[in-house]
Amino acid sequence: MAKFQSHHSKQSAAASGMVVKVGIFGALVAGLFFVFNKFMGNQENDVADEFAPLEMYYPQSTSGEIVVHKGFALSYSEEHEQAEWTAHELSRENLEKQWNKRSDAFLPDNEVSTGSATPDDYRGSGYDRGHLVPAADLAWDAEAMKETFLLSNISPQAGNFNKGIWRELEELTRNWAKKYGHLYVVTGPVLSVEPKGEIGENEVSVPVAFYKVLLDYKSSNPKSIAFVIPNEVSYDPVFDYCTSIDEVEELTGLDFFPDLLDQQSESILEANFNKDLWPFNKKKYEIRINSWNKQ
């Protein structure tokens, strides 16, 4: 697991012809019915369906507390006062829409039954309020982006990590989604390893590292890659931290995409990765080293 290893030792021809014609006619009618319902049906339900995350790509929840927001879902860990994972989809179509202005309003998540962390927990802690689902990933919808600022989607991150290599990985992920058309994205803190410490009255754990799992499942060439990056400033290339989904599962104790992939697909896509299929941006890396790491 590259740089983080030190932290952790799916009857007649005429009759036949008539059957074919009937079948084709039936298919055309069904298709027209679908189009009519999609474009002339209940518009409000269409909008809701557009944003509803698909449960079939959720990872396993060890806490049993899954919260679904407009553009993403999460599994909340009360013990650590943050999500153990977040899951969302990235599509080229949405990323190319006009972006809404950031809200920057960090608020408790009232959907968490036990109560989430609060802004006071982070105040004066020395750590950034780091996004798991980036605001920019959902900037095409104002409400969805606003919900990324809920504290259930936030984790304590070292400033030069959050503004540096984590930002670079987030931007690369959006580039890859544009290139391939669609990605399933799962992100979270590594909570299986003893945290660096705790902050605030709610004792929010400070993770030693963060992971991001990417699955391109809808293209003609399905592929995956994952990253585990220490929660600290880094001057190394992002790809020094890439690994397989299987390795992240072993590290975190989570099961990714259990309902999405069949056994064969899982064994292939989760055990292997090819970083050459995920283009690296040298210019972005140089900007991080010379600018972002110094902010």
Q: pLDDT tens, 13-58? A: 333 343 333 343 333 333 433 333 333 333 333 333 444 446 778 9
Identify whether 43 is part of a domain.
no
Q: Which pair of structure tokens corresponds to residue 63? A: 């806490």
User: Mind listing the pLDDT tens digit for each residue in 104-148?
Assistant: 899 999 999 999 999 999 999 999 999 999 999 999 999 999 999
**Which of 83, 78, 37 has its CA nearest to residue 58?**
83
Residue 17 maps to a domain: no
pLDDT per residue as tens digits for the range 79-110:
999 999 999 999 999 999 999 988 889 999 99
CA 112 to chain centre: 19
Measured between alpha carbons, how far is 136 from 139 in angstroms, rounded to an integer? 5
Residue 253 is assigned to a structural domain of this protein: yes
Res 219: pLDDT? 84
Distance of CA 248 to CAs 177, 229, 277, Å?
A: 21, 11, 19
Token duo for residue 145: 């982006």
Question: What are 243's strand-pairing partners?
Answer: 226
Q: Which residue has the tokens 């110094």?
A: 294
Question: CB of 150 within 8 A of CB of 168?
Answer: no
- At 165 the pLDDT is 98
The verdict on residue 10 lying in a domain is no
The 10 Å CB-count burial string (b at 16+, else e) for 214-240 is: bbbbeeeeebbbbbbbbbebbeeebee
For residues 132 and 120, what is the distance between their CA atoms, to the nearest angstrom? Answer: 19
pLDDT tens readout for residues 190-228:
999 999 999 999 999 999 999 999 999 888 889 999 999
Q: In whole angstroms, what is the distance from residue 76 CA to residue 121 CA?
A: 17
Amino acid at 161: F
Classified as helix, coil or strand, 51 is helix
In this prediction, residue 57 carries a pLDDT of: 84
**For the chain, what is the domain count?**
1
Residue 178 counted as domain residue: yes
State yes or no: is 131 an active-site residue: yes
The domain that holds 253 is classified in CATH as 3.40.570.10
Domain around 161: 59-294
For residue 1, the model assigns a pLDDT of 64
Global pTM?
0.82
Is residue 119 one of the residues assigned to a domain? Answer: yes
Domain-embedded: residue 102:
yes
Q: Name the pLDDT band for 260 (thresholds 50, 70, 90).
A: confident
pLDDT of amino acid 218: 86
- Contacts of residue 249, defined as CB under 8 A and 6 or more positions apart, other chains included, come to 255, 256, 270
- Choose, from 8, 69, 131, 182, the residue flagged as catalytic: 131
Instruction: Report the mean per-residue pLDDT for the chain.
Output: 84
For residues 263 and 247, the model is more confident at 247
Token pair listed for 167? 């930002």
pLDDT value for 18: 35
Element containing residue 49 per DSSP (H, E): helix 43-51
- Could you tell me if residue 210 is inside a domain? yes
**Residue 252 confidence (pLDDT):** 97
Cα–Cα–Cα angle for 16, 17, 19, rounded to 5 degrees: 65
DSSP 163: I
